Structures are given as structure tokens and as C-alpha cells.
Amino acid sequence: MSAVPAEAWLAMLETSCEKLGSHCLDIIIDQSGSARPWLPSVQSVEPPLPWYSLFTGLPEAGALHLAPLLVRVDLRQPLQRHWLAGLMEELADRSQLLVLVSQWRFEALAEHLVRCVEVQQNGVVSLLRYYNPRIFPVLFSHVLEPAQKSNWLHPVLFWSWLDRDGVPQHLAGTAGVPDASNKFEPLLLSPPQVAALCCIQDAAELMQALSDMHPETWGAERRFQYCYTAALDAYRKGALAADPFKAEGCCEGGSA
């Protein structure tokens, strides 16, 4: 399957929503990947788009221009849909947009996703950039334990993103209900999990260094998977050490 235009991706998402009886898409915009903040654009839409900074309540809350923004778009509202189509078009070649569908109240979903941002690694609290679509799928394929995945699967019907080749990807959720007891266990990353995150950056560096060695028929996603597997294998064999500074590309910050 090849890359699809932004409008085609949006049409696919609309079809999925219709089948699930939903009319809203929730999106997470990773503002840190842009030269300008996206919040003014979000706030310019009428009728107003519900939005929430996923840094709310965290030490980084003041960096609103860099915060990941959760936005709920009502597909029945033509102007909101038009704005979303334009956003998808502009970010089509950038890894800044993660889409999900949830039946939770917007406020409950936002508060839950904020709590997913903070993780502990080596006794330090960091920000897990799960909202980056280059990091998100690797979390589920190589990093998270089955029980840990529920933090992201429980509140959603599905997640969607574009891979490195511009092809839409889909991850089904479990569509649970909000926990009335408000129980939530912060994610504790083990050293092997931190290493698996480091390998994302290692793989990106390998892709650049070995760009001429891959078959021309390979797409960017296949090249990444090849390089990521090589980096992970090197770590497991002791030929590559986990570098905390590389993990910062996936886990930023470091508040005590």
C-alpha cells in the first residue's frame, strides 16, 4: 500500500467512525515539531474546538507553545472538518499528528492522557513522547509490557497515524469505561525498556548512515524496521549500550 492523500486518510477515518457509531475524532498535535505553535489555529475555529494541553498540571505546563494538544473535532461541523483536513494536509510529511476515537467525555479522556505522559526511568520522572507517531507504534511492538499497554488502549476505540511512507496505520483499543476509583499506576520503565527506546534514535542514525545500502524497492518504514531490529539485536548482545541522552528523544524532561 502506498501513501495516501490527507483527504483520503480523513475519509478512511470517517468511515471507521460511522461503523462505530461515533461522529468525533480526537487528535493529538505534537507542537514541538513545528516552527510555530498550533494553538492559535485551534482557537480560531468556529464553532470552538475543545482542546487541552497534555502538559496540564506538569512542571512543563508553562511551555504551552511546545505542549502536545488534544483536540476534539466534530465531523458533523463543516468548518471543523475543513480545519482538520487542512491540518492533515500541512502535517502530511511530518510526524506530528496522532488520531484516536474515544467515547469518553473529553475532559475525562484529556486527564487520562495527561497521566500517561509522565514515566519513571532510573529513578527519574520524565515525559514520554508517546504522542509522536514515530515513537507510538514502537511502544506497542517492542517496549511496553501487556499490562502497561492498557493505559493507552482502555479509553479508545482505535488509534491511527501515518507511518514513514505516509501509509495509514490502525491500532484497535479496548473501549473500556473510565475507572470510577480513579486508580492509575504511573509507568515504570525497566532498563531494557529504556534501551528499546534508545534504539529508536539509533535506528534513525543507521538509516541515515546506511541509506545507500538498502534496496531501492524498500520504503522508509521497512528501512526503519530493519535498522531498529539491528540496533535492538546489538544492544541485547552487548555490542551497543543504552545511552540515556538518546532516550531523551523519546523521554524528555527529567523532573525529580
Distance CA 144, CA 188 (A): 10
The partner residues of 160 in beta bridges, in order of sequence, read 99, 170
Q: What is the pLDDT of residue 179?
A: 82
pTM of the model: 0.91
Distance CA 176, CA 187 (A): 19
Structure confidence by residue, pLDDT tens digits, 16-51: 999 999 999 999 999 998 889 999 999 999 999 999
Q: What is the pLDDT of residue 238?
A: 78
Contact 193, 58 (CB under 8 A): no
Closest among 256, 254, 234, 236 to 244, alpha carbons compared: 254
Q: Can you give the residue ranges of every domain in the chain?
A: 6-119+147-186
**pLDDT-above-90 percentage for the chain:** 72
Query: Maximum CA pair distance of the chain?
Result: 55
Residues 129, 144, 181, 21: is their CA dihedral positive or negative? positive
Strands laid side by side in the 251-252 sheet: 187-189, 118-121, 124-128, 251-252
Q: What is the pLDDT of residue 180?
A: 75
Structure confidence by residue, pLDDT tens digits, 1-17: 578 899 999 999 999 99
Return mean pLDDT, the chain. 90
